[in-house]
Structure 1
Amino acid sequence: MDPPATYRCRNCQTPIAYRDELLSKSYMVVVDPFGIQAKTGQAFLFSDARNIVFGQKQETNLITGVYTIASIFCSNCGEELGWKYLQASEARQKFKEGKFILELSKISKHF
């Protein structure tokens, strides 16, 4: 049996998530568009992630509402990969709680 496809840190190739944990490819990252460290681009939503470390909790205003998130970083090289949704302020966005956003520009798929 072939090993499952993985998504890896683009910087150091550390495995971050499995293909069967991918929930959606239809996310666009637009965080703090007027800030010094703005993030933009396509992102994927995953049910789980591994080989990561968490940054501090923060409240952020995204297109779909206000969330409490924690940035996630590769545990091997320290590259910022995206974030984990900790809490959603709106009831219709609660499904995102506990899920992970990985920025497409920071990961690569391996078969």
Structure 2
Amino acid sequence: MGMVYRIYLEGERIYGCANCKTHLATIHSMMSRAFNGQHGRAYLFETVVNIIEGEPIDREMTTGKHTVRDISCCKCRTVLGWKYDRAFEPLQQYKEGKYILERNLLVDVQ
């Protein structure tokens, strides 16, 4: 495996991995703060960078069945949340292609 090049984000508020501070997303790509992750509160993002996506798996969640992929930091491999590939409920399909990042696994970086 070759070198992994990381993307550095710019803006007024940047969220990074709490473990290694790798840039992940900006406040402008945040869609909602009203989500729950496996370990507490979570945020829904339109775009996230510097991640590794796992294999798709079907999970039964509080809002119905979804196909998701766990996402990890590309530097330290900490599992940060998941990506929605498919929502089986029509009212949940707005989540497809979006990302959940767990709040307690994020830090503000500048």
Which TM class, normalised by the smaller chain length? 0.7 to 0.9
Residue equivalent to 1:53: 52
TM-score normalised by length of structure 2: 0.87
Residue equivalent to 1:101: 100
Residue equivalent to 1:70: 69
Give the % identical residues: 35
Cα displacement string for residues 85-111 of structure 1 (whole angstroms, at most 9, x for unaligned residues): 000000000000000000011111235
The one-letter code sitting in structure 2 at the alignment partner of 1:90 is E
The one-letter code sitting in structure 2 at the alignment partner of 1:51 is N
CA distance in 1, matches of 2:91, 2:64: 10
Size of the alignment, in residue pairs? 101
Query: What secondary structure sits across from 2:39 in the alignment?
Result: strand
Query: What secondary structure sits across from 1:45 in the alignment?
Result: strand
Quote how far apart the aligned CAs of 1:78 are.
0.3
Question: Is 1:18 equivalent to 2:17 in the alignment?
Answer: no
Structure 1 segments, 4+ long, off by >6 Å, are none
1:4 to 1, 12, 15: 12
Quote how far apart the aligned CAs of 1:77 are.
0.5
Please list every run of 5 or more consecutive structure 1 residues that lacks an aligned counterpart in the other structure.
Answer: 30-38
Please list every run of 5 or more consecutive structure 2 residues that lacks an aligned counterpart in the other structure.
Answer: 1-9
TM-score normalised by length of structure 1: 0.87
Contact 2:23 2:109 in 1 (8 A): no
